[in-house]
Amino acid sequence: MYRLLILGALLSSAFTASILDESSGRIVGGEDTSIEAHLYQVSLWLIEEGMHFCGGSRVSEDIVVTAAHCRLGFEPSDMLVRLGSTNSRSGGLLVEVTALKYHEGFNGKTTVNDIAVLRLAQKVTQSESIRFIDLAETVPPTGTQAVVSGWVLNVPVFAY
């Protein structure tokens, strides 16, 4: 029994170390940025936990697009959307969510069709720090560069 406990602790430590090493890095070529460079970026918040859990992009006055896996197990009343802040923990404007819909073909195991739409409780007009994302009018050619923006989640450290 004692050997099994030690083995479990060693495996957990190795696993945690690999997660920390991977999560402390950035997307290749990544760099710090600000909301002014990505005015459409929003932070999704869990009300009860008081924490950021996913990001999204604002496409209209009251619609946010996010990943379907971000809404799994949550109701609209469980979350808030923070708009107009570089910091996912403070600043900007917090708005309630009234509805959410994810792609009917979403598969949580394969993440096929990993897209969802949130409706905000109020329409938020554009400002110096809050805008809509510019949507492509045509399909970009293969190889077109894209921008990925968001916040890094903190990985919990396991203590034994």
Q: What is the per-residue pLDDT for 147?
A: 83
**30: Cα within 13 Å, side-chain hemisphere:** 12
**DSSP structural state of residue 68:** G
81 burial (CB, 10 Å; 0-12 / 13-18 / 19+) is buried
How many helices (H) and strands (E) the chain has is answered by 1, 6
pTM of the model: 0.75
Q: What is the per-residue pLDDT for 27?
A: 58
Amino acid letter for position 93: L
Q: What is the per-residue pLDDT for 29?
A: 64
Question: Please, are residues 45 and 79 in contact by the beta-carbon 8 Å criterion?
Answer: yes
Structural domains of the chain, ranges and CATH numbers in brackets? 44-134 (2.40.10.10)
Residues of the chain with pLDDT below 70 are 1-29, 152-160
